Structure 1
Amino acid sequence: MATGFPIDRRALLAGAMALPVTAHAAALPGSGGDDAAFWHDVAAQYDVTREVIQLENGNWGMMARPVLRSYEQAVERVNRDTSYYARRGMVREVIAARDALAAALGVPAEEVAFTRNATEALKTLILGYNRLKTGDAVLYADLDYDSMQACMESLATRRGAAVVRIALPEPATRQSIIDVYAAAMDANPRLRLILLTHLSHRTGLVVPVREIAAMARARGIDTIVDAAHSWGQLDFALADLDCDFVGLNCHKWLGAPLGVGALHVRRRALAAIDRDPANDATDRDTLQARIHTGTLDFAAQLTVPAALTFQQAIGAKRRADRLSALRNQWVIRARQIPGIEILTPDDPSLHGGITAFRIAGKTSVADNIAIAAKLLERHRIFTVHRVGPAKGACVRVTPALFNSMTDMDALAAALPDLIA
């Protein structure tokens, strides 16, 4: 995640709660971000449950303590001043928060709008996309998010489109992923729209979006990108994807309050997305005109700058390296255990922190519910089963910045018991 702000690596707060500074302010060379003293200080900013080892952080992210305090203050003000605040300055502050987010994403402010989550952003893009003609085709993959798959399927009745579904390779390589999309483009000459999930919520597989989108663009095909799990987990800017349409979350890896997502549409492509019919037809033709949420949690949006400040003090690359190092800590050991299948490649360009595993032959939903339950009941390790991959269900492991290498070692040590 490239940012538009200077990063103070010796503090996790600016003007609020300073993180203790240690002699290990910079990651050790070759440490993969595993500087124990620094990350201990980071973890200390999260009030995480002690009931379990929490390795299911993909649903939403935890606010760090200073972000939570900022949110509490915003809630207090919105609750106290209500419309007196809303009609006399709150909108300016929400716009300023939007501008700060756009700067962090590395795109012009008018190309970003707040939504309540990535699902709402992507629903706006998919259902509002107006370049389809009857008989055109749209494409999505087995690892895409369920709600987005449903939106793509609905284009058959909404737009008269032919819907194409593909399965991504397992195990995957960078080239094999590109090849399966290229083959789908070759097989469907009327393909006009592709949904790409940058980092899958099911297995953690990272798709080479830029390369696939470039192939699509050369054939006159548009690409909508689901970046709900990639932005803040991986180190990139939106410009690196080179795509016109992106939906993302702020309450996952950025660690903002629940109920904040964002929509990005390049200015040149704005006309391809319909205006929301609930908006006044006389309103200016902006990206905001494509969304109509009604009254929402304004305090959550107002807290986004605090979340950005906290994460920028850590640094995008350092954060991505740490999440990858946590992942590798258990995966390297797990690959040596007979009967454990790791679904996500070790190629660092194809994974972040999320990785899924499967016990050989255990592909049903019931099997994987039972595996996750066994991890919780016997080892106090909380994970979640996932369905959808073409080769069967799996268990997803999602570490966060408050997790330790000891947590990951505990998972690796528990895996043989699952097979027994």
Structure 2
Amino acid sequence: MSASSWVDMVDMGYPNVSIGKSGVPFMLNRRDLLATATMAPMLTLASVAEGAEMALPVLSDDLGFDALQRQLASLYDVDRAIVNFDAAYYGAMTRAVHAVYMEKTGWMNRYNSTFLRSAVPGAPRDAELDKSRDAVAHMIGAQPDEIALAGGGTEALYALIANYAPVKAGDAVIYCDVDYDEMQYAMDYLEQSRGARVVRFSLPEPHSRANILAAYEKILKDTPRAKLLLLTHVSNRNGLIPPVREIVAMAKAHGVDVILDSAQAVGQMPFNVDEIGADFIGFSLHKWLAAPLGTGAIYIRKARQKDILPWLGNRIHPVDDIRARIPTGTVDFAARLTIPSAVAMQARIGINRKFAHLRALRDYWVARASDIRGVEMMLPPERDNYGAISAFRLPGMKTGDQARQAQARFIEKHKLLVVAKAGLASGPVLRVTPALFNTSGELDRLVRAIQAERGLFL
């Protein structure tokens, strides 16, 4: 959008948008935002959506690393008293998306049940929510009727795993140490509820692509009654990105279905369901896409939807409707209505540029921390097996309690949030996840803190 278009918006009195001295659009401060909250009831849902599309940044294609990080950081209003390296938990909304969410919250509060009962003229509930399903489907290369919105990646994946119909007593289900804790618990539940046999294995270190493929091939060959494999697209423990497409194809060749945990992948990296090949995918939208908290979705390929049972016998939607596979309670509808704005924001930034910048932030601190004597980095430097997330281990750090102690020390002494993670066969780690709002200066602080604490457990 041109600067003149932004000026036109301001002249028209569009709330929360202003023009800086440089001609760059920005959102107003918190006081001004609260002042405009009284205007929200006057907005129609359509005008809020239109405003969301207009309130997106324009980024030059030829920005270098330093200039790009400055522009990306300026999109956010985040507290920096403690430097947040925990983007794998929850992705902060940009100023623009947050403003849309606030406006839609005001709109929802004004119309409340009349909207939920589809009584607001021109804004039937399901049709408005379908705009969010459409946006998500377009983002990942799916069809809208292959998408159902969920309360986050964990809820989405529980819905897929616990309701996976084909598994019978005596069938085997497989997962490994890099998989997310709660998804491991869901796989264990298939043993309690269906009599399935749970097969657990650990990926050999180093986590090279060759080692990973060999490990999955071996476990599939050694488990002839395998029916289901849990595969994590990006590990929340150490950031590993395994060769997903190859593993999915390998599993299918053995007659094994894959439920793909893409909670850390959607919104972080280029993502297309046909290229990946998995029939069942659960993911978050409030992590890397940075939609409002409590948003996620499931993807089920249309031809396979009968293989995921309705949620606890849900009959609110027809059995052939994917939405029957997700709980249908009252949720934060404003959050769900904001999803298209988050998708549009990502499209404006560009997913390839976004992923490249996140990896550049990761490479920046890893290259410097790798020179610190005794500090162990968790992933080998193969370009395709990591993204933004990575992890390190201090010398002598062997227990979960020590990792949690180190996390507390980084917060209290250095004002840096890194996260203790257990669960890997090799031991606990400290996870570092830069976000688009982090800077190289903050990463320099992290490297200095790692250097200062290298002797903590020696």
TM-score (normalised: structure 2): 0.85
5 Å-filtered alignment, 1:126-137, equals 126-137=161-172
State how far apart, in whole Å, the 2-side matches of 1:177 and 1:97 are: 36
State how far apart, in whole Å, the 2-side matches of 1:172 and 1:27 are: 34
Q: 1:220 and 1:380, CA in 2 relative to 1: closer, same or farther beyond 3 A?
A: same
State how far apart, in whole Å, the 2-side matches of 1:17 and 1:213 are: 39
Q: 1:325 and 1:163, CA in 2 relative to 1: closer, same or farther beyond 3 A?
A: same
Is structure 2 residue 227 aligned with structure 1 residue 211? no
- Aligned position for 2:78: 48
Is structure 2 residue 268 aligned with structure 1 residue 230? no
- Aligned position for 1:4: none
Match among 50, 64, 76 for residue 94 of structure 2: 64
> 2:52–2:97: 8 Å Cα contact kept in structure 1?
no
Q: Which stretch shifts more, 368-377 or 143-152?
A: 368-377
- Code of the aligned partner of 1:369: R
- Aligned position for 1:16: 54
Is structure 2 residue 417 aligned with structure 1 residue 379? no
State how far apart, in whole Å, the 2-side matches of 1:285 and 1:305 are: 25
What is the aligned-residue identity percentage?
39
- Aligned position for 2:234: 199
Is structure 2 residue 158 aligned with structure 1 residue 155? no
> 2:374–2:394: 8 Å Cα contact kept in structure 1?
yes
Q: CA RMSD in A?
A: 1.8
> 1:198–1:230: 8 Å Cα contact kept in structure 2?
yes
State how far apart, in whole Å, the 1-side matches of 2:233 and 2:379 are: 14
Shift of 1:352: 0.4
State how far apart, in whole Å, the 2-side matches of 1:11 and 1:211 are: 44
Shift of 1:306: 0.7
Deviations along 1:294-351, whole A, 9 cap, x unmatched?
Answer: 1111110000011011111110110000000000001011111111000022212100
> 2:146–2:302: 8 Å Cα contact kept in structure 1?
yes
Is structure 2 residue 292 aligned with structure 1 residue 257? yes
> 1:16–1:66: 8 Å Cα contact kept in structure 2?
no
- Code of the aligned partner of 1:19: P
- Code of the aligned partner of 2:92: M
Deviations along 1:106-165, whole A, 9 cap, x unmatched?
Answer: 111110110001111111111111111221100001111111100101111211111000
- Code of the aligned partner of 1:128: N
- Aligned position for 1:329: 364
> 1:11–1:313: 8 Å Cα contact kept in structure 2?
no
Q: State the SS of the aligned residue for 1:277.
A: helix
Which structure carries more relative contact order (alpha carbon 8 Å, separation 6+)? 1
- Aligned position for 2:138: 103
- Aligned position for 1:7: none
Structure of larger gyration radius: 2
- Code of the aligned partner of 1:349: D
> 2:284–2:297: 8 Å Cα contact kept in structure 1?
yes
- Aligned position for 1:300: 335
- Aligned position for 1:242: 277
> 2:364–2:443: 8 Å Cα contact kept in structure 1?
yes
Deviations along 1:28-75, whole A, 9 cap, x unmatched?
Answer: 5xx6xx1x2233122111111121111112211101011011101111
> 2:53–2:344: 8 Å Cα contact kept in structure 1?
no
Q: State the SS of the aligned residue for 1:138.
A: strand
Q: State the SS of the aligned residue for 1:385.
A: strand
Shift of 1:284: 4.7
- Code of the aligned partner of 1:41: Q
Shift of 1:16: 3.4
Shift of 1:20: 6.5
Match among 421, 425, 432 for residue 397 of structure 1: 432
Is structure 2 residue 79 aligned with structure 1 residue 79? no
Structure 2: runs of 5 or more not aligned: 1-23, 27-50
State how far apart, in whole Å, the 1-side matches of 2:210 and 2:201 are: 16
- Aligned position for 2:322: 287
Deviations along 1:345-373, whole A, 9 cap, x unmatched?
Answer: 22121000000100133120111112222
Q: 1:94 and 1:14, CA in 2 relative to 1: closer, same or farther beyond 3 A?
A: closer
How many pairs align? 403
> 1:20–1:41: 8 Å Cα contact kept in structure 2?
no
Shift of 1:282: 7.7
Q: 1:66 and 1:178, CA in 2 relative to 1: closer, same or farther beyond 3 A?
A: same
> 1:254–1:307: 8 Å Cα contact kept in structure 2?
yes
- Code of the aligned partner of 2:437: F
